[in-house]
A and B are shown apart, each in its own frame.
Chain A
Amino acid sequence: GESVGLHLPTLSVQEGDNSIINCAYSNSASDYFIWYKQESGKGPQFIIDIRSNMDKRQGQRVTVLLNKTVKHLSLQIAATQPGDSAVYFCAENIMNTGFQKLVFGTGTRLLVSP
């Protein structure tokens, strides 16, 4: 079936720490994954994506790791800042002929203390 889930609903860290948010997916045929950040009252904001032909992709202070063997994704945020406080969703891109849709995980709330 199609499902994407998160292990930890809330992650609390101190400013300056590194944060790791995890995600499991179930559709082994999926080949494209996206992390979104959602702040209160806003829509999901694109952070970083990764395709299944890669194991790792880096952005500015963020890194996504993909382990296809165990169907696991993680988002690493370096030197976490108070502005990183938000809910983070992983999303699995489900494709079929002529369309695509995102299947979102349940989300992890990241709380960053000064």
Chain B
Amino acid sequence: EPEVTQTPSHQVTQMGQEVILRCVPISNHLYFYWYRQILGQKVEFLVSFYNNEISEKSEIFDDQFSVERPDGSNFTLKIRSTKLEDSAMYFCAIADRINQPQHFGDGTRLSIL
């Protein structure tokens, strides 16, 4: 079983709409990550989050993206105005320490129409 639960499993949204993807860790963890995987391609890093702030983000993670951990439990990824090219699987990952394995959820499939 994954150490994180992601919801929804599939999100279909019109271009230009906002989406929020959610990740709920099963237990307490320190490091949180979002990755994305366009169909048939490799998994790409988006952002890392530690101590309630972003510690690193990729070029993909532009001003349309944001993350937060509003209640100390859920970890969310928001895309403000979706584009067709945002269609992908989005994976949340957690880790307990630096230089330890990251463990992934089963992802949210985001389809932009």
Q: In the complex, given contacts A46-B101, A89-B42, what are 5 additional A-B residue pairs having Cβ atoms less than 8 angstroms apart? A: A43-B2, A43-B106, A44-B91, A45-B104, A51-B99
CB-CB under 8 A for A98 and B101, given A41-B106, A43-B107, A106-B42: no
**What is the interface residue range for chain A against chain B?**
20 to 34
A61 at interface by CB-CB < 8 Å: no
A93 at interface by CB-CB < 8 Å: yes
Instruction: Check A103 against B45 for contact (C-beta < 8 Å).
Output: yes
CB distance from A38 to the nearest CB of B (A): 8
CB-CB under 8 A for A46 and B42, given A98-B55, A99-B56, A100-B98: no
Residues of B in contact (CB 8 Å), total 27
Chain A interface (Cβ within 8 Å of chain B)?
31-32, 34, 36, 41-46, 49, 51, 89, 91, 93, 95-96, 98-107
Instruction: Check A106 against B41 for contact (C-beta < 8 Å).
Output: yes
CB-CB under 8 A for A105 and B99, given A43-B105, A99-B48: no
Which of the residues B6, B44, B56, B95 comes within 8 Å of A96, measured between beta carbons?
A: B56
Q: In B38-52, which residues have CB < 8 Å from any A CB?
A: 41-45, 48, 50
Which of the residues A31, A32, A101 comes within 8 Å of B56, measured between beta carbons?
A: A101
Q: Which among A44, A51, A91, A105 has the highest number of chain B CB atoms within 10 Å?
A: A44
Q: In B56-95, which residues have CB < 8 Å from any A CB?
A: 56, 58, 91, 93, 95
Residues of A near B105 (CB, < 8 A) are: 43
Nearest neighbor of B47 in chain A, beta-carbon distance: A101
Instruction: Check B98 against A43 for contact (C-beta < 8 Å).
Output: no
